[in-house]
Amino acid sequence: MKALNELSIAEARERLDQGAVSSVALTEACLGQIQSLDGALHAFLEVWPDEALQEAKRSDERRSRGLRLGEFDGIPLAVKDNMLVQGRHCSAGSKILENYVATNDATVVAKLKTQGAVFLGRTNMDEFAMGSSTENSAYGPTKHPRDPARVPGGSSGGSAVAVAANMCLGALGSDTGGSIRQPASLCGIVGLKPTYGRVSRSGLIAMASSFDQIGPLAKSVEDAARLFEAIQGADVLDQTTANVEAFQASGAVVRRQGLEGVRVGMPRQAWGKGMTDEVRTRVRAAVDVLTSLGAEVVDVDLPYADEALAVYYVLMPCEVSANLARFDGMRYGVRAQASTLLETYLQSRASGLGREVRRRILLGTYALSRGYYDAYYRQAKRVQTLIQNAYASAFEHVDVLVSPTSPSTAFKLGEKTSDPLAMYLEDLFTVGANVAGLPAVSVPCGDASGLPVGLHLTGRMFDEATLLGVARAYEGARG
DSSP string covering 212-260, please? -EEEEEESSHHHHHHHHHHHBS-BTTBTT----PPP-HHHHT--SS--T
Question: How far, in Å, CA of 150 to CA of 308, rounded?
Answer: 27
**pLDDT on residue 81:** 98
Give me the count of residues in the chain.
479
CATH code of the domain covering residue 323 = 3.90.1300.10
Q: How many CB atoms lie within 10 A of CB 164?
A: 25
**pLDDT on residue 254:** 47
Write the DSSP assignment of 430-472 as a string of letters: THHHHHHT--EEEEEEEEETTEEEEEEEEE-TT-HHHHHHHHH
Say whether the peptide bond before residue 351 is cis (omega within 30 degrees of 0). no
User: Do 312 and 387 touch, CB atoms closer than 8 A?
Assistant: no
Q: What is the pLDDT of residues 144-193, one digit of tens each?
A: 999 999 999 999 999 999 999 999 999 999 999 999 999 999 999 999 99
Q: What is the pLDDT of residues 184-230, one digit of tens each?
A: 999 999 999 999 999 999 999 999 999 999 999 999 999 999 999 99
Those residues of the chain that have pLDDT short of 50 are: 254-256
Quote the number of domains for the chain.
Answer: 1
Positions marked catalytic: 80, 155, 179
Helix (H) or strand (E) holding 382: helix 379-394
Q: What is the pLDDT of residues 272-296, one digit of tens each?
A: 777 999 999 999 999 999 999 999 9
- Per the structure, the complete domain to which residue 260 belongs is given by 1-479
Strand positions, DSSP E, 295-406:
296-300, 400-404
**pLDDT on residue 392:** 97
**pLDDT on residue 202:** 98
Pairing of strands 190-193, 170-175: unpaired
Tell me how far CA of residue 103 lies from CA of 90, 115, 334, in angstroms.
10, 20, 17
